[in-house]
A and B are shown apart, each in its own frame.
Chain A
Amino acid sequence: MAAIYLLDVPEFQPIAISARRQGLTVTTLRTGYIRLESPGILELRRKPTGVKLPVWFGAPTGGLEGRIELFDKELLRIVDA
């Protein structure tokens, strides 16, 4: 399983909305986090999220499951560790 946790605050919420449209499983937790997950490989594109780079590059601050294979300005790819 590959996953990240977003902090459930206005800065990161657009990522969660877009992640659902991008086919990821999105779960809002009771603890103030939003879990984005995908079996195997998690791929998330930045442009559809609308967030700028300072927020994008801090998106996994809530936590990471798996290993980051690619994280550039346009794409985050996490693989099962």
Chain B
Amino acid sequence: MELNAAHIAKNKLHGVHHTARPTWKLRETVEFYRDCMGLALVHAISAKGWGPPGHPDFLHFFFDSGKGSTIAFFYYIGVEQPDYLRHRTQWDGDSVHTSWGVERQEELLDWKAALEARGVDVFMRVHHELIDSIYFRDPNGYLLEITWQTRPMTALDAGDAERTLQAAIAAESEAAAGGMPLNDIEGIWRRKAQLVRALESKE
């Protein structure tokens, strides 16, 4: 079937059900999410011989993270953690992370205080453009974030995001055509200015 915009528009998602990552620290993971963070353990699958060769037996368990969402883990029984899955606490490894939302700034500050009172190192707070976030790690080293969004995202934000990505994709294509990687944000911003000027002249 050929997909078109009308078909795509009918397909809606209703929030995150779960995200999942592997853990090799079973007890610590349960104690952290259930006992320290207070996320209820709401579901656990255990299976024998069902997984692919190399990890036939496993646990897959889920913690409630609000509004029907969960955060889940796999624990592969009898399997040593491969080196490539050891979390690197650097920008590239940390780009994979989970960020939960809270509705008020007070909640964010309460979380920070509560986590610190329980011995968690909340090592960073960053107020980005419209999100105010705290950062900490789970026993696996995985980066976790709690975010308060300071205002709703509007049509203006969305239109701007479209133009940023349009400019970036065009800059990347141009660089690739010249056999070069895209290595400078300035080229994207100059293209973005062209798009903004074109938009203004249309109005």
Q: Which of B72-80, B99-107, B184-192 contacts A (4 or more CB under 8 A)?
A: B184-192
- With a cutoff of 8 Å between Cβ atoms, the chain A residues found around residue B159 in the complex are 32
B127 near A62 (CB under 8 angstroms)?
no
A10 near B151 (CB under 8 angstroms)?
yes
- B126, B127, B156, B195: the one contacting A7 at CB < 8 Å is B156
Within 8 A of B (CB), among A46-81: 52, 54-55, 58, 60-65, 67-68, 81
> Is chain B's interface secondary structure helix, strand, loop, or mixed overall?
helix
Whether B200 is near chain A, meaning CB under 8 Å from some CB there, is yes
In the bound assembly, the distance between CA atoms of A55 and B127 in angstroms comes to 8
A63 near B199 (CB under 8 angstroms)?
no
- With a cutoff of 8 Å between Cβ atoms, the chain B residues found around residue A8 in the complex are 156
Whether B203 is near chain A, meaning CB under 8 Å from some CB there, is yes
- B128, B130, B192, B203: the one contacting A63 at CB < 8 Å is B192
Within 8 A of A (CB), among B103-153: 126-130, 150-151
Which residue numbers of A lie inside 8 Å of B, CB to CB? 3-5, 7-12, 29-33, 52, 54-55, 58, 60-65, 67-68, 81
7 contacts between A and B (CB under 8 A): A9-B130, A9-B156, A12-B129, A29-B196, A54-B128, A62-B160, A68-B186
Which residue numbers of B lie inside 8 Å of A, CB to CB? 126-130, 150-151, 154, 156-157, 159-160, 164, 186, 189-190, 192-197, 199-200, 203
Known interface pairs A9-B157, A11-B129, A30-B200; 15 further A-B residue pairs with C-beta atoms within 8 A, sorted by A's residue number: A4-B189, A5-B192, A5-B193, A7-B160, A9-B156, A31-B199, A32-B156, A33-B196, A58-B129, A62-B196, A63-B189, A63-B190, A63-B197, A64-B189, A64-B190
